[in-house]
Structure 1
Amino acid sequence: MNKHLLKRLEQKEYVSGETLAKELNVSRTSIWKYIKSFEQKGYIFESKKNKGYRLIFRPDIPIAEEILPYIKTSIIGKKFYHFPSLPSTNSHAKELLKKDISEGCVIVTEEQMNGRGRKNRKWFSPKGGLWFSVILYPDIPPQKAMYVTMAASIAISIALKEICNINPEIKWPNDILLDGKKICGILTELDAEMDKINYSIIGIGLNVNNGIPSALNHSATSLKKFTGNEVSRVLLLRSILLHFDKIYQYIVCKDLDFIQKSWLSYANIIGKEICVHGEKETIKGRVSDIDENGCLFLSTNKGITHIVAGDIEYI
């Protein structure tokens, strides 16, 4: 019920407690309690005798009540959790998976105390950013799991253009850049058998209004720093989840070609000269293509090399 209370009160006119109680099928006491709970989160309501309530200030907090009533999705967002702080949203997702959790569950936190990226690298996740995970059960072979990451990166890129009017670039395999600096990272973790993915957790860390440590200024940025303005995390998360849900339908329908073509339009990697830093060696070459699993074909002085994993650097 309270998911729709904010949307009802965002109008300029006052709405009486009696009207709200009838519309939402609860008692007037419940309405009062819900309003008090929102006030504790920083919302400000104006109330007048014989008139009712109206919302006059809403903080930029990506809670379920700010997200779900404003987007229509088929899968993503059917369950939504918001926390003031977590060690890691991906780790919390794994705890939820010990229960019977529905596909599309979203876990959001204001800060991560132990945020991490690929290869267990620490991910700086203070207040002001968007730190969240989505639980999915993609019915595709494990070797095509990269397409879930691709779908997420496309959705984020579309949302950044839609909300901030900026043109990001996807960097293989899981980063999103603005003018060569990292704005977002995606950590996809999965449990799989030989021919089946049991679950996929898509962890997303997006620098929005948070500060960037001075040691990372050469390689990372935030939307606030890049645009010069505060960016609404609420509007951004609404857009990301809405577009992620739409693009994920292509995975549900097994139309992976669409995702690959869309991803390439944002990645712009074909023909680029790169260095690939692997665990044992560094390989230089020109990207000639990507395969059906999202891996790279690299043209080197020794021939064509197939790149499944690694960190890339543009030359």
Structure 2
Amino acid sequence: MKDTAINLLKILEEAPGPISGERIAEQLGVTRSAVWKQIRELRRLGYGISSSRTEGYRLESKTNRLLPYEIHKRLRTRFIGKQIRHFDSTASTSWIGKKLAAENDPANLHGMVIIAEEQTGGVGRLGRAWVSPAGGIWATIVLKPKVPFDHLFMITMAGSIAVARAIRKEYNISALIKWPNDIFIGDKKVAGLLLELAAEADTVHYALLGMGIDVNVALDDLSSNLRDTVTTLQEEVGREVDRVALLARILREFELRYQQLEDGEYDSIIREWKSLSLTLDHRVAITTVNKTFAGEAIDIDEHGALIIRKDNGKIERVIAGDCFQL
């Protein structure tokens, strides 16, 4: 939003009742016509604003969009989300992040959050398509990590913890983490994360942490092949939920864990991840590029690999692959 629209919105928010267009124009130092133009823009962005010839304008309801102005009011972070780019629709927030990092010094983008109301070309792990309709949270956090190269994978762990904790705190729902990067409620997936690195040798130019969360998405809007394995927060809570409150909570929770990483508190992150794990101490099937096998997930190591005790008793270390609960 432009500054004029933001300032007008603040006037409406602070007004004890209806306020005339003339008075708004005086406070903003603009014409009545300019006031009307900004009122139309705010309505387009989803704000419910009533108007009366005798009384003036009144803010009746907030927008349901993930607008930077609304997020910043609830954020309370030091650097995560201080810069926000918002799009009604884009192919991928990750693509936007890569473009911005190529055009700017990534250090100046550290903590930026890129948000789309919908993605038309969202991509998940292993290049799989990620369905991203309106109503979800589709976001990418741009980072210039000060984390040792061999611990960068823990950025994903920090993000997974943040999403699971935020869902638990906002809705009292037992969200758990399925290795390597999915968030589940019960036996259905509600969110996923993906870490992308731009690096050469041991130098990391930037990292992009993408997250996709099915929030206010109707199950009917998902393809039939997804409905048995995917859920949404709206479905679990039984009502439309406040996406702004949830995203602000996630960003606060993530900044806390990310700071732990930069401070070298790796054990704290691993312990918390284990406490939220859906995978550990369960029988699982693993599919990698080269093979498929089953066994019990008994641990994760300091590099984020899943440790499996196979049915023949041998121990297998899995760095990457698909994990299915049995």
TM-score (norm 1): 0.90
Matches within 5 A, 1:208-247: 208-210=215-217, 211-247=221-257
Q: Which residue of 1 aligns with 2:163?
A: 156
1:53, distance to aligned residue in structure 2 (A): 4.7
1:80, distance to aligned residue in structure 2 (A): 0.6
Question: Are the structure 2 counterparts of residues 272 and 38 from structure 1 closer, same or farther at C-alpha, using a change threshold of 3 Å?
Answer: same
Question: Percent of pairs identical after alignment?
Answer: 37
Equivalents in 2 of 1:46, 1:181: separation in Å?
41
Equivalents in 2 of 1:20, 1:62: separation in Å?
26
| Per-residue deviation, residues 164-218 of structure 1 (Å, max 9, x unmatched) | 2211110011100111111001111111233232211111111112132211111
Q: Which residue of 1 aligns with 2:204?
A: 197
Equivalents in 1 of 2:39, 2:239: separation in Å?
30
**Range 104-113 or range 224-233, more displaced:** 224-233
Matches within 5 A, 1:31-70: 34-46=38-50, 53-70=57-74
Equivalents in 2 of 1:8, 1:274: separation in Å?
56
**Range 216-225 or range 268-277, more displaced:** 268-277
Q: Does 1:97 align with 2:101?
A: yes
Q: Secondary structure at the match of 1:110?
A: strand
Query: Does the 8 Å CA contact 1:60/1:232 hold for their aligned counterparts?
Result: yes
The structure 2 residue matched to 1:170, chosen from 149, 167, 177, is: 177
Equivalents in 2 of 1:268, 1:188: separation in Å?
20
Q: Does 1:276 align with 2:283?
A: no
1:302, distance to aligned residue in structure 2 (A): 5.0
Question: Are the structure 2 counterparts of residues 197 and 217 from structure 1 closer, same or farther at C-alpha, using a change threshold of 3 Å?
Answer: same
Query: Does the 8 Å CA contact 2:46/2:65 hold for their aligned counterparts?
Result: no
Aligned length: 313
Structure 1 alignment gaps of length 5 or more: none
| Per-residue deviation, residues 99-148 of structure 1 (Å, max 9, x unmatched) | 22420111111111111111111111111111111101111233322211
Question: Are the structure 2 counterparts of residues 55 and 190 from structure 1 closer, same or farther at C-alpha, using a change threshold of 3 Å?
Answer: same
Structure 2 alignment gaps of length 5 or more: none
Question: Are the structure 2 counterparts of residues 3 and 278 from structure 1 closer, same or farther at C-alpha, using a change threshold of 3 Å?
Answer: farther
Matches within 5 A, 1:90-129: 90-100=94-104, 101-129=108-136
Matches within 5 A, 1:135-154: 135-154=142-161
Q: Does 1:10 align with 2:17?
A: no
Equivalents in 2 of 1:20, 1:294: separation in Å?
56
Q: Which amino acid aligns with 2:320?
A: A
Query: Does the 8 Å CA contact 2:215/2:232 hold for their aligned counterparts?
Result: yes
Q: Which amino acid aligns with 2:29?
A: S
Query: Does the 8 Å CA contact 2:83/2:112 hold for their aligned counterparts?
Result: yes
| Per-residue deviation, residues 55-85 of structure 1 (Å, max 9, x unmatched) | 2122210010110122111121121111111
1:223, distance to aligned residue in structure 2 (A): 1.2
TM-score (norm 2): 0.87
Query: Does the 8 Å CA contact 2:279/2:325 hold for their aligned counterparts?
Result: no
Q: Which amino acid aligns with 1:98?
A: A
| Per-residue deviation, residues 230-249 of structure 1 (Å, max 9, x unmatched) | 11212211211121122211
Question: Are the structure 2 counterparts of residues 143 and 60 from structure 1 closer, same or farther at C-alpha, using a change threshold of 3 Å?
Answer: same
Query: Does the 8 Å CA contact 1:3/1:69 hold for their aligned counterparts?
Result: no
Equivalents in 2 of 1:288, 1:202: separation in Å?
27
CA RMSD in angstroms, aligned pairs only:
2.5
Equivalents in 2 of 1:257, 1:35: separation in Å?
51
Q: Which amino acid aligns with 2:109?
A: S
